[in-house]
Copies of this chain bind each other. A is one copy, B any other.
Amino acid sequence: MKTIKKIKEFTLLAESIRKRGKTIGLVPTMGFLHEGHLRLIRMARKQCEVVVLSIFVNPAQFGPGEDFEKYPRDINRDRHLAEKEGVDYVFYPAASEMYKSEHKTFVEVEGLGDIMCGAYRQGHFKGVATVVLKLLNITKANRAYFGEKDYQQMMIVKRMVDDLNVDVEIVRVPTVREEDGLAMSSRNRYLDRKERENAGILYKCLNKAKDMIKGGEKNLRVVRTEMIKELEKNRYISRVDYIEFRNPLNLQEISEAGESGRSILVAVAAWIGSTRLIDNMVIKL
């Protein structure tokens, strides 16, 4: 396994791999790898001849007052885990390598980037779309792997590559959960013991929605009210940013559960203490 920090070096490498007719799989991450990331890597390992893991805590996707500085980092541990999973190349650029002082170009997916998490994290998805496009161009990936836990991010990336005709397949990989249902996330590291013990509540609350909808509840406002009650019962929940029901294919809002065969994305963002967590579930009717 080789670690490369320079864009130019990686692009030349990628070009030579592509010329030899080999497929490149990219797993873009901000590092501090957990089992969710490893699942992405394993899927890439299965489907591609060359597996690239990028590790880059992207300043452009953090707003002012967000956790860019304290975001957990451990490159040595990450590289060790990557090597064990059979990663071929780690792309690990400095921020100054990715954003030169004269950088001025940003990508926006209008209408998808300002809803849900985008309404609470201004500019976040503009930063995500821009860095993902850069990483796709640098690594010349044939396939790129995204987790369903960040469902909105995955949909924005899919929309972007379709709209801009980027010749890459976006592969979606199911969320990996802890035993109590907590979706794996590098940010779980912020939780203290008590908060961690209570963090399974988001998944419980998604399951409550599933039970109600599968049980025949059509009015999603009623479902939302029950979910909020469930969350607010827990004294470790300090704030609920949103609970939303969306069409999983295009993120359009849904107010009523439709006919059998349709699917509903239920997405939640809530704070436990000073940590913001998100989770979601696609419910098939």
Besides A18-B18, A105-B159, A137-B165, 4 more A-B contacts (Cβ < 8 Å) are A106-B108, A106-B110, A134-B165, A137-B164
Residues in B with CB closer than 8 Å to A137 are 164-167
Residues of B within 8 A of A110 (CB): 104-106
Interface size bracket, A side: 20 to 34
Q: Counting CB contacts under 8 A, is A109 at the interface? A: yes
Interface residues of A (CB under 8 A from B): 7, 11, 15, 18-19, 21, 100, 102-112, 129-130, 133-134, 137-138, 140, 159-160, 162-167, 250
Given the interface pairs A104-B112, A106-B110, the reply to whether A7 lies near B165 with Cβ below 8 Å is: yes
Q: B134 and A11: CB pair below 8 A?
A: no
On chain B, the residues within 8 Å of A18 by CB distance are: 18-19
How many copies the complex holds: the figure is: 2
Determine if B129 and A105 form an interchain contact, defined as CB atoms under 8 angstroms apart: yes
Cβ-defined contact, B104 with A163, below 8 A: yes
Is B105 in contact with A105, judged by CB distance below 8 angstroms? Answer: no
CA distance A253 to B184 in the complex (A): 50
Q: When chains A and B are docked, how far (Å) is the Cα of A250 from the Cα of B104?
A: 11
Contact of A165 among B19, B106, B138, B164 (CB under 8 A): B138
A172 CB to nearest chain B CB (Å): 18
Q: How far is the CA of A237 from the CA of B165 in the complex (A)?
A: 42
Contact check: which of B109, B111, B134 meets A164 at CB < 8 Å? B134
Closest to A11 in B: B167
- Asked if B103 contacts A163 (CB within 8 A), the reply is yes
Sample 18 A-B pairs with CB under 8 A, ordered by A number: A15-B167, A19-B21, A102-B159, A102-B250, A103-B163, A104-B109, A104-B110, A105-B107, A105-B109, A106-B110, A107-B107, A107-B164, A130-B164, A134-B163, A134-B165, A137-B164, A138-B165, A140-B167
- Give Cα distance in the complex from A110 to B110, angstroms: 16
Inside 8 A of A250's CB, which chain B residues have their CB?
102
Chain B residues whose CB sits within 8 angstroms of the CB of A130 once the complex forms: 164
The reply to whether A133 and B19 contact each other, CB–CB distance below 8 Å, is no
A107 to B163, CA, bound (A): 11
